[in-house]
Structure 1
Amino acid sequence: MEYSKNDLHSQKTGGAFLELPTICIPVYKEIIKEMSEVIKDVRVRDVFYSLLTGSDAQTVSRRTGIAPRNLAYMYKKGIREVYSEWKSYSEWKRELANAYVRCRNYKSLLLSPQDISRQNFRNVIIAVRDQDIPSEYVDLLVTPLGKLGINFRVLRALRKYNIYLLEDLLRFIKYNGFDALRTMSGMGVKSVEQLYEKLKDKNILENKETCTLFRYLFV
């Protein structure tokens, strides 16, 4: 179907004016378009999109040849289908973050033999079977360290080692052990202890060797 370019602020919907700030209209129409794509029946999709983007029932009826009394039924059918099938942006973002973490896990299993020989296997558990990561843990793993209230000096030191997300930090800790952070340039004993207290206060670490999230990170 062709998506209309009509202005929403000048159209009627069900006898009432639908007014949106002009700057919001393109975004609104893109959202409705995305929602419409999950509707399988082309005519139901057309009715759903047209009515939600400002076309009145009589105009849609004349254009499609569908009796007005049937438009309401088709519109409700479209709403039910969208409600059960459409995923919001936040859900897609979470799934993408989940895929990102799992991709990093797979990458870690493809280390060269030279790298594998240097691993500290006391702290590394290789998961041979993939597992889903709970959404709340995905959100936590992809959290930038700057949002955890960590001291800027510590953040700057970690970034020198490409550690930007909580996931990056936990991989390092699981691979090397927590105390290995002291060997980093710019990370003194006091900084490391402050970081430990911060992670423990936020219930990310139970102790220096135990973290619920470790099970979802291969190495």
Structure 2
Amino acid sequence: MPEQANSRFVIVDTGCANLSSVKFAIKRLGFDAEITDDLAKIKVAEKVILPGVGNAKHAMENIREKNLVACIQGLTQPVLGFCLGMQLMCSDSRESSALSHTQTDTDQGVEIIDCLDLIPTSVAPLEANGLRLPHMGWNTLTSVIDHPVFAGINVGDYFYFVHSFAAPVSDYTAAACEYGSAFSAAIVKDNFVGCQFHPERSGANGSKIIKNFLEM
């Protein structure tokens, strides 16, 4: 059977994510989502998921090559970012590798990589204070706001993390976590919500967040 021209739910093909695992997590909940980098399909979708793994440099290169920047920035429907996808929603990311579309911070010796600038906060290396990086495995939330995506999610709930960079706790923090220092486990602004953890790998709690998002 041919795929429908437009899907209610789309997973943006950023070229730097385990897209099949995200699609399967959605399918387990009884929904279907199309993996696509087609601008027209993304624009008309009811809900959009922005996954990502790896680093902001590579991801933003892919997003620019696919001409997705303006498309994603212009979305007015709910958008949910997973892991690196959350970081890409931020204004910038401080990394050590060179890239066009970066600003050099000579005082810090890092590259400031321009991201999608959907949520006005920056990403930087996680201050683990001696703990091993990446922060990989299960950890608990230390705070969570009242928000439709996080309905039924509580302080102390476990989620699965794999990351070495993080956004600080700020006015845009929807949930916080600690690993050597406090960081944003989730951020939100308007229709954009990002989770630093992997909902698709976080068992029942992760499934709850995905279901909340798709049904909101």
The TM-score range, normalised by the shorter chain, is under 0.3
Give 1 or 2: higher helix fraction: 1
Greater relative contact order structure (CA < 8 Å, 6+ sep): 2
Give 1 or 2: higher strand fraction: 2
